[in-house]
Structure 1
Amino acid sequence: MPHHRRAVPLLWRAALAAALLCVIGLLPWLAHTDPALTVLKARSMDRDPTPEVLADIRTQLGLDAGPLHLLGQWLAGLPRGDAGRSWISGAEVTPAVLQAFGVSLLLTGVALVVAVLTAALVCARTLRAGAHRRLGARKTGGTLSAVLAALPEFLTASVLATVVGVQLGWLPALGWYGPQWTVLPALALGLPAGAVLGRMLDDLLPGAFAEPWALAAAARGLPGRRIAGQAVRRCVPALLPNAGLFVVGITGGAVAVEQIFDIPGLGRTTLQAALAQDLPVLQAGTLALLLLAAAATALARLGVRLLIGPALRDNALPTLHRPIPPARRVLPLVIAAVLLGVIAVGLPRDPLALNTAERLQPPSWTHPFGTDALGRDLLARVGHGALDTLLLALAISAAALLTGVLLGLLPRLSGPLVDTVNAVPPVLGALLVTALAGRGPGTPALAVSVVAWAPLAAHTSALLRQERAALHITATRALGADRWYLLRHEYLPAVLPPVTRHALLRLPGVALALASLAFLGLGAQPPSPEWGLLLAENQPYAERAPWAVLAPAAVLALLGALAVTAAGGVRWPGGRPGRQRTVGTEQPVEKSQLVPVGVGESR
């Protein structure tokens, strides 16, 4: 690639990072709040905000010079490693942020190990079926992975901390004093991420097992484990961009988990700085996340180049796209019927009726899901909350899919933008959106929408890059096809179905992002029955009244199971029968059928 073509993405990335840091530096002024008053409240809640006290704080912090002067001072100190001093504690920012960054990196590393093991379990059945050439019998345990992906991280963290840490005493639940303290929070972070990555890998594996090299290897009698290992190696490059996003997302987005386990990580540090408007700490934490995003992207690209670089360069890569066989529609219909039945039964009930005499009552015929701390019927609140949660999550997911595909088809434009957007924790994104758009019922949805498209755009770009290097694309170009023909007849049929399935897998994640904002007090407000707010309100009573938490968690798990099972039926209208000879078939193949194919390919 020419040097000027390499420089453009770097300049675009630097411009986006600078713009984000400038917006953060203007955050108090954009939100029309007095930084001196916010800092005073963070320093001492009991001190009266007299004009003299506020004037003294403005003088100490240099607020009278204006935000641009403060931003220039902060940027000028960065080359020396000086990120300024905290407006709250007065301590140097750089050592504190580096310490929090190290904590988050260690936690992220352990969480990634958990995620890899979880992903291996999710796609284990497909690996065994492909290794023994029984893909026609393939259908994975997607429901279990859906439940794992749909469990809110803060709920999983609360259960692990209460049951494993406190009641059983197997592992420490609070603090950060050594390796043992990483296990429970890593499980809370790694299980959902591993479930999503496992489902994405499971979606690609049958296409790899149906490629000519796999058929030839099976015909020559190579061990199934080696074929399965090469199939994983073949599919990993398409997942590496999203794996890099998970690294950054876990590092900066683990705010709720860090709050529950009292971990001094970067996400929690950034959130506290944002709430207190401690701009030097907030800017340094965001800069650390941006640098991590750039490093993760570079490592992902290096991994892709090492795994399939020559094939990408020479346009000699087989396509992973395959015709999707008709999906079994019974299970998603059953799950949808159960979910709709719960909603239908709950809608006629009053979600706001209080009865303090029936506080935290267990499930009964009168209250099938029990009651909450105010005696309100949980079934009624779950039913009415579905209108807010499901419709909003569906709308955000549809918008994210459209935006992700459109931007993913323009990788030079979207690549740096994806990295920058992903480096912003959802909580910080919510604060920025609130500052720019003001508080309102649509603010949490707008905040989630700003970041929800990024993984889909990264997935689209990765698949598009591999499809462009496929042999049949080279042949189609040689026959005179223009770019619009390739887009309509080759790229979109290969990219859109898996990205749509990915969007469905992330539908519970969108609902959980809204739930996380509610859990942290930045989303829906009482007395709304939104599912995330139900979890936040009832989480303190999880040990005494577990049904109060399990009810909204169960419907979220049902939503995840429905999304995953329905995703299996997403395919390009009409199929692509002409591609059958390229990617193989989903039917069981006898060894006698493989020998001619393998010999032909070897020649």
Structure 2
Amino acid sequence: MVAALPWLSGSDPALTVLRARSAEREPDAEALRAVREELHLPPDPVSGVLAWLGGALRGDLGLSWVTGLPVGPTVAQAAGVSGGLALAASSVALTGAVLVLLPGLRRSVATGEPVGGRGAAVGASLAALPDFLLASVLLTVVAVRWGLLPTSGWAGPPNAVLPALALGLPAAGLLSRVLAGALDAALAEGWVRAWRAAGLGRGVLLLALLRRGVAVALPQVLLLFTGLLGSSVAVESVFAVPGLGATVLAAVLAQDLPLVQGCVGVLVLAGSALGAAGVLAHRLLVGPALTGSGLTPAAPAEPAGRAARWLPGALAAVLLLVVAAGLLRDPDTMALAERLRPPSWAHPAGTDALGRDVLARFGHGALLSVGAGLVVTAVSLAAGLAAGLAGRRARAGVADVLNALPPVLVGILVAAVAGPGLVGAAAAVMLVAWVPLAVHARTLAAEVRASGFYLAAVAGGAGHGWMLRRHLLPSVLPAVARHALVRLPHVTLALAGLSFLGLGAPHGSPEWGAMLAESIAYAERAPWTVALPAAGLAVLGVAASLVRVQRR
């Protein structure tokens, strides 16, 4: 498909180049022939696909349709930049997730209680941070106002600090929730009780539990690394980082398809290689237990206290009250004399750059943001479970490849076929949102299949359908469903990012992410323009992450 990309639109690549260079020039036969000769364009799709594949095997990715220069060096340079940034951001994410959970884990080792609690709320708040908003704040405060780090470019390690924080902190929230679910499940396994009864020290048990939890989370870390290679478009744009995401986005917008082919080819290879590395790392960390009936997954205990039961409902109720208050106000009335006014009795959340009421736009935007996000999340959960439970063994596959493709790129491709709109943006996000859930389900299913009770049921003659209903799905669904709920704000932000590019909700829509994108330029002067939608995403993330999905 990558090799056939220039012909998937159904038009002649030479005609595409000619229109991109000069819309006024008549596309006559002589002009088309000159373009073909200049860029060595094949005459038909079959020869074009074979020529590109043959060149790719030799390291020749063709010539740029815009500059006429070889694509290979440009892709290699961009991939090196994005690889360094993704590595730094993944390190921030893993370190942050462990730091968030470490206090709760120390308490759990001593008491046997679940890891959740305050760590869950902190992780959910981090996961709900918009990376482009965090990047803008870090740029304004740390780089410009304090002058501590560079503002742009990619000249050395100092340039990676702020982009890595902007990408890694939200990812740390997601990883902390995945790691918390894995640790809670591990605490309920029989070996933990046996080790505690044998009098082993807390330090030994703590390290063993961390290894057990990281075995489940490490495939997610590698998945995250692959995704960051191409999905950091907004952060790379804020800090002017010449990475792979920014390169492929610019190439798509300029219709430079050979450059798109090179970038997507690198992302596909990275997705395949790192997906396989995640499966191998999981097997190595778990060890013989994965094949020798050494695992006995048990239902993790629920967190003690009433707060764990009523807090999600209370947060949801507060969010609904604020949304209801906004729905009673007019979101479209502009009053330029009232632009960027701070909160007052007339405008409880202030006004935006066009004098529109922020509270009203927040309330009406919830119908678009949360509604579309819930639909995409529900469909992604179903698809992720189906894909993760389908295989008999964990192996790298389509999910790992698709994870390497950024939602922005998928959204542009979908918009090119179906046209811009919120439905097309939701379809584009859905095409990649199921991937982390599928990998998580695949990892957990591999452990369930290695457990003694599963192998005993198989030896007793249980069929595949019965095992799926009675053992696999009940064991995997709670953790993956919690993972899906934590990703709800992330899905909402992905939809907002596409709307910001003009591929989702129309311009001027009160969608939360679009509100953030429109108000970033005024965040320092009028912070209330971004405070309410950012707080809404944070509350949504915390409430979603604290919902307990019971194992049947």
Counterpart contact for 2:486–2:541, Cα < 8 Å: yes
Counterpart contact for 2:411–2:425, Cα < 8 Å: yes
Q: Report the CA distance shift for 1:364/1:27 in structure 2 as closer, same or farther (over 3 A).
A: farther
2:537 pairs with 1:570: no
**Partners of 1:95 and 1:401 in 2: how far apart?**
39
Structure 1 residue 138: Cα displacement: 5.7
Which aligned pairs between 1:338-377 and structure 2 lie closer than 5 A? 338-377=318-357
Give structure 1 stretches of 5+ with no counterpart: 1-18, 42-46, 576-603
2:394 pairs with 1:410: no
2:409 pairs with 1:420: no
What is the TM-score normalised by the length of structure 1?
A: 0.86
DSSP 3-state at the match of 1:161: helix
Partner of 1:105: 83
Counterpart contact for 1:86–1:92, Cα < 8 Å: yes
**Partners of 1:31 and 1:544 in 2: how far apart?**
49
Structure 1 residue 27: Cα displacement: 4.8
Amino acid at match of 2:543: L
2:437 pairs with 1:456: yes
Structure 1 residue 527: Cα displacement: 2.2
- Cα displacement string for residues 278-331 of structure 1 (whole angstroms, at most 9, x for unaligned residues): 111110101111111122112112212212242222232232543546873221
Counterpart contact for 1:86–1:280, Cα < 8 Å: yes
Structure 1 residue 37: Cα displacement: 4.7
**Partners of 1:298 and 1:445 in 2: how far apart?**
29
Structure 1 residue 31: Cα displacement: 12
Partner of 1:94: 72
2:225 pairs with 1:247: yes
Amino acid at match of 2:82: S
Counterpart contact for 1:534–1:549, Cα < 8 Å: yes
Q: Alignment partner for residue 279 of structure 1, among 257, 264, 278?
A: 257
Amino acid at match of 2:388: G
Structure 1 residue 171: Cα displacement: 1.1
**Partners of 2:303 and 2:105 in 1: how far apart?**
18
Counterpart contact for 2:121–2:546, Cα < 8 Å: yes
Q: Report the CA distance shift for 1:177/1:315 in structure 2 as closer, same or farther (over 3 A).
A: same
Partner of 1:215: 193
- Cα displacement string for residues 169-207 of structure 1 (whole angstroms, at most 9, x for unaligned residues): 111121111100000000011011111111111112123
**Partners of 1:119 and 1:210 in 2: how far apart?**
21
Structure 1 residue 541: Cα displacement: 1.6
**Partners of 1:158 and 1:241 in 2: how far apart?**
30
- Bigger CA drift: 62-71 or 545-554? 62-71
- Bigger CA drift: 478-487 or 197-206? 478-487
Q: Report the CA distance shift for 1:139/1:64 in structure 2 as closer, same or farther (over 3 A).
A: closer
**Partners of 1:534 and 1:465 in 2: how far apart?**
42
DSSP 3-state at the match of 1:432: helix
Quick one: higher RCO (CA 8 Å, sep 6+), 1 or 2?
1
How many percent of aligned residue pairs carry the same amino acid? Answer: 46
2:413 pairs with 1:432: yes
Partner of 1:508: 489
Amino acid at match of 1:210: A
Which aligned pairs between 1:512-523 and structure 2 lie closer than 5 A? 512-523=493-504
Structure 1 residue 565: Cα displacement: 1.6
> How many residue pairs get matched?
547
Q: Report the CA distance shift for 1:376/1:138 in structure 2 as closer, same or farther (over 3 A).
A: closer
**Partners of 1:460 and 1:31 in 2: how far apart?**
43
2:122 pairs with 1:175: no
2:367 pairs with 1:387: yes
**Partners of 2:473 and 2:328 in 1: how far apart?**
44
2:435 pairs with 1:477: no
Q: Report the CA distance shift for 1:259/1:29 in structure 2 as closer, same or farther (over 3 A).
A: farther
**Partners of 1:101 and 1:28 in 2: how far apart?**
26
Q: Report the CA distance shift for 1:253/1:177 in structure 2 as closer, same or farther (over 3 A).
A: same
**Partners of 2:223 and 2:11 in 1: how far apart?**
29
Structure 1 residue 64: Cα displacement: 8.2
**Partners of 2:546 and 2:19 in 1: how far apart?**
48
**Partners of 1:74 and 1:479 in 2: how far apart?**
53
Structure 1 residue 125: Cα displacement: 2.7
What is the TM-score normalised by the length of structure 2?
A: 0.93
- Cα displacement string for residues 9-34 of structure 1 (whole angstroms, at most 9, x for unaligned residues): xxxxxxxxxx3x14533355479995
- Bigger CA drift: 463-472 or 432-441? 432-441
**Partners of 1:28 and 1:259 in 2: how far apart?**
28
- Bigger CA drift: 392-401 or 407-416? 407-416
Amino acid at match of 1:534: M
Counterpart contact for 1:314–1:469, Cα < 8 Å: yes
- Bigger CA drift: 289-298 or 512-521? 512-521
Q: Report the CA distance shift for 1:49/1:339 in structure 2 as closer, same or farther (over 3 A).
A: farther
2:316 pairs with 1:316: no
Partner of 1:585: none
Structure 1 residue 389: Cα displacement: 0.6
**Partners of 1:159 and 1:431 in 2: how far apart?**
27
- Bigger CA drift: 483-492 or 278-287? 483-492
2:121 pairs with 1:143: yes
Partner of 1:331: 311
Amino acid at match of 1:194: A
Counterpart contact for 2:42–2:48, Cα < 8 Å: no
